[in-house]
Amino acid sequence: MKIKATKKCNCEDKKVVTKKIAEPKKVAAKKTCAKKETKKSVTFTIHAEKGKDVFVAGEFNDWNPTAKKMAYKSREGIYTATIKLAIGTYQYKFVIDGVWCADPENVESVANDQGTFNSIITVK
């Protein structure tokens, strides 16, 4: 196999290599120019009684109240959930047995259109 051409792509100094094969088969060049979005693991925690159904909902999951179930950690007596989030600022709330509540340990909040407050997290 011979390399026919090597050229730079428009993004992040990645190279696209086009290969030529002796047989008359067509081989498509693979382009990997998609910019990778950096995501960071963010762990949400809340103290709640054992046996509760606890979820975290927010802008990162379209406010779906059952999208991300939190696991109970008996040693610490808390519920936790880890979500990979892109850099940015997000509003969120916890849903405990169907009741929406702001994060009691987070002082960062903003008023919402329901007359309550959403907690805010900033991923850097």
For the chain, domain boundaries = 1-34, 39-123
The backbone region for 13, taken as left when phi is positive above 0, alpha when psi lies in -120 to 50, beta otherwise, is left
Q: Distance (Å, rounded) from C-alpha 102 to C-alpha 84?
A: 20
State residue 26's pLDDT score.
Answer: 52
State residue 21's pLDDT score.
Answer: 44
State residue 48's pLDDT score.
Answer: 95
pTM across the whole model: 0.70
30: its two tokens: 């693979």
CATH fold label, 39-123: Immunoglobulin-like (2.60.40)
The backbone region for 41, taken as left when phi is positive above 0, alpha when psi lies in -120 to 50, beta otherwise, is beta
Q: How confident is the model at residue 17 (pLDDT cuts 50, 70, 90)?
A: very low
CA nearest neighbour of 58 among 112, 115, 124: 112
Q: Distance (Å, rounded) from C-alpha 111 to C-alpha 40?
A: 26
- Percentage of the chain lying above the pLDDT 70 cut: 71
72: its two tokens: 């109970």
